[in-house]
Amino acid sequence: MPAYLFRYCGLGRMVLGDRPEGAFLGRAQALQFATLRKQPDGSWAIVEPAKDILEKSLK
């Protein structure tokens, strides 16, 4: 199973740590979102997120 890392850039007043679904993450004027996938050699590659994953993460 592939491992993914989601990175949100531009957030202010962030709340760190484990968050339940729908919980406040922070505020942003403009939000940049990156999805990284762990490769078999241990490195990370930037990949385009599936539309449904991106929509779910912003709800």
For 10-59, the pLDDT digits (tens) are 988 888 888 888 888 888 899 898 999 999 999 999 999 888 888 887 77
Tokens of 34: 């990156």
Query: How many CB atoms are located within 10 Å of the residue 4 CB?
Result: 13
pTM exceeds 0.95, yes or no:
no
- 25-43 as b/e: b if 16+ CB within 10 A: eeeeeeeeeebbeeeeeee
How far is Cα 34 from Cα 54, in angstroms, rounded to an integer? 10
**Can you give the pLDDT at residue 44?**
95
